Amino acid sequence: MRTLVGFGTRHTLSETASNTRGIGAARRWVKSRFAAISSDCGGCLQIITPAQTFTGPRIPRPTEVQDVVAILRGTSDPQRVIVITGHLDSRVTDIMNSTSDAPGADDDGSGVAAVIEAARVLSKYR
């Protein structure tokens, strides 16, 4: 949680190139956490980062929106799925303000932390 909050803002339109601030830094950090978990379990997680460009009322210019997904296949039935999700973005009251700090501990830093912890715990049962 401290690390996620430490990125200042994770607004969809925030910084993507910085390693210390914005949604891009947060995405890379989450991916690195999944990679560390996967390394500890012998590569049990498949990590993908699907991206799509969007424009809309809250995204006024073409913006690449990227997810970070970790897939842990089941051992007896790898086609069955359980989905545990959180959302990485955060915002202040002004939904178009992409620069002010919006630490998002409960929107949705707590959800992201829960997903990472679920991946870590479930990876031990392979």
CATH classification number, 2-123, choose in 3.40.630.10, 3.40.190.10, 3.30.465.10, 3.30.450.20: 3.40.630.10
SS3 state of residue 84: coil
Q: What's this model's pTM, rounded to 2 decimal places? A: 0.95
**Each residue's pLDDT tens digit, 16-54:** 999 999 999 999 999 999 999 999 999 999 999 999 999
